[in-house]
Amino acid sequence: MFVYVGIASAEPNIQIENARTRSTAPGQTVSGGYMTLINNGPTADRLLSVSASWASMIEIHHTRMDGGVMRMREVQGGVPIPANSRVELKPRGMHLMLMQLAAPLEAGHSMPLLLQFEKAGAVKVSLRVEAAGQMP
């Protein structure tokens, strides 16, 4: 009755750096989330979804500039993170769309976020809130 399948791959080989978001103004319900996803392991993984109690809807989006037009689309099928690699979620690129914010995000605060990976499972991250007027 022992099931070993998956245990080896469940070793924590995912590391998150520089997780951050922008402060929001009263009434603003959306902010962008950014971070570096690092896979130190020998097997590929995938960020499947993200959740938080303070943002009831979170999607992974990609910004594409198309002849001077900004288009944002949800990333289908999650974010692949190849073995031994780093993937950047960054402004004007792939990012978290943190929607339906329960309250304004205040600069200096840290917000808990739960990332769900295909192999590494759930990984807790603390998102640093930076002043919107200062974060690129």
Partner 1 sequence: MRGIIIVLSVILAACAPPPLPFNATEITGVSYGTQLQIPDTQGKSRSLADFSGKITVVFFGFTSCPDVCPSTLMRLGQLRKSLGADGAAVQVILVTVDPERDTASRLDAYVKNFDPSFIGLRPEPAALESVVKAFHAIAVKVPTADGTDYTIDHSSTIYVYDQNTRMRLIAQADMPIEQLAADLRRLIADS
**Contact string (CB under 8 A) for partner 1, positions 50-69, x = contact:** -------x-x-x-x-x--xx
Q: Least distance (Å) from partner 1 to the CB of residue 33?
A: 8
Three-class SS of residue 3? coil
**Burial category of 77 from C-beta neighbours within 10 Å (exposed 0-12, middle 13-18, buried 19 and up):** exposed
Q: Least distance (Å) from partner 1 to the CB of residue 69?
A: 5
- Which letter does DSSP use for residue 52 in this model? B
**Contact string (CB under 8 A) for partner 1, positions 74-113, x = contact:** x----------------xx--x-xxxx-------------
Nearest 5°: the CA angle 104, 108, 114 is 70
39 binds partner 1 (CB under 8 A): no
- In the complex with partner 1, the residue whose CB is nearer, 14 or 115, is 115
Cα distances from 105 to residues 47, 121, 122, 133, in angstroms, run 24, 27, 24, 13
Please name the residue that has the structure tokens 């979170």.
58
Binding site for partner 1 (CB under 8 A): 22-32, 57, 59, 61, 63, 65, 68-74, 91-92, 95, 97-100, 132-136
